[in-house]
Amino acid sequence: MLSYRHSFHAGNHADILKHATLCLILEALNQKDKPYFYGDTHAGAGIYSLASEHARATGEFQGGIAKLWQTNDIPSMLAPMMNVVKHYNGGGLRFYPGSPLFAKAMLREQDKLTLNEIHPSDAPLLAREFKSDRRAHIDAMDGYHFCKDRLPPTPRRGVLLMDPSYEMKDEYKKLFNALQDGLKRWETGTFALWYPVVDRGTIDELERKIRRHVKRPTLQVELALAPDSDGYGMTASGMIVVNPPWKLPEQLNELLPWLANTLEADEAANQRLHWLVEDA
C-alpha cells in the first residue's frame, strides 16, 4: 500500500529502543578493525524534522527523544545513540535521524552500507542524503527481496536491520520468510528485526516460528509503555536479534529498566528481555 510514513512517528519510544539496540550492535562491530556491512531493508527518508507537520500532528517524539534530550544522567549504554542525535542537532532538538543516519555516523571509512527504500516520496530523500557517500549503495526494491538479492554481503561481517511498516496482515509471514532466506545465505550475520506490539497473538506466533526454525542464538527485548490491550494502538515495541554481540544481553538488561522509568512506562507494563533461542 505504501501509505506508511515514518515522519509521523520519528523519535517515539519505539525508535528509542530500536536505535539504542542498533547503536550497541554497531559499537560492538567497531571494536575490530576489519570492515563490516550494514544493510537496511526498509530505510525510510534518512532524517526527520521534528517541526514538520507530520511530527507535530502526532507529537509522538515528545514521549521519546524529547524526554531523553532533557535528561542529564544518560547511562553509558545509551551514549552511542545520543551522540549521533547530538551530531545532527545544534543547541536544540530539531531533527531525529533515521536508522541509515545512525549507521552513517557510526560506520568507518572501510565499512559498507546498502540501504533500501521503495516509497516514492522517501526514496529520493534517502538517495540525496547519501549521494556523496562512497560507502553507500542505495536500492529501491521490495524490502522483503533484500535477503535473496543482496546477501551474503561483502564484507561478511555485519548487521541487517529489518524494520518494515507492518501495513498488511501478511507482513509478519513475509518478515519471517525473509529472515529464513537471509540465514541460509548469511548464517553468521547479525539480523535485527523490529516489531510493534499491537496484537499480542501475532507476536506470540512469530516467537513460536523463530523458536521452532531458527538455529542461531536469538535475543528478544521489549520496551512497553502500557500493558497489552485489545484497543487500538501500539503499547510496546520489540527487537529480535539473531546472532547478537556477546555483550548485548548485559547492556540491554541494564538499559531497559532505565528507559522504562525515564519514558514513564505504566507500572503494569511488562518489560521483556530473554533468549528466544539459547546461546550455545
Angle between helices 200-213 and 171-185 (to 10 degrees): 20
Q: Which residues contact 79 (CB under 8 A, 6 or more apart)?
A: none
Taking the C-alpha atoms of residue 185 and residue 130, their distance in angstroms, rounded to an integer, is 27
- Please give the chain's pLDDT, 280 residues, in tens: 444 557 677 899 999 999 999 999 999 999 999 999 999 999 998 899 998 888 777 778 899 999 999 998 899 999 999 999 999 998 899 999 999 999 999 999 999 999 999 999 899 999 999 999 999 999 999 999 999 999 999 999 999 999 998 888 899 999 999 999 999 999 999 999 999 999 999 999 999 999 999 999 999 999 999 999 887 789 999 999 999 999 999 999 999 999 999 999 999 999 999 999 997 5
Of the candidates 264, 255, 269, the one whose C-alpha atom is nearest the C-alpha of residue 19 is 255
Q: What is the third-level CATH fold of 6-277?
A: Rossmann fold (3.40.50)
pTM for the model stands at: 0.95
Of the candidates 90, 144, 136, 105, the one whose C-alpha atom is nearest the C-alpha of residue 23 is 105
| Residue 48: strand pairing partners | 96
Of the candidates 115, 102, 133, 126, the one whose C-alpha atom is nearest the C-alpha of residue 27 is 102
Mind telling me the catalytic residues? 163
Side-chain-facing half-sphere of 263: CA atoms under 13 Å:
28
Q: What's the gap between Cα 221 and its chain centre?
A: 12
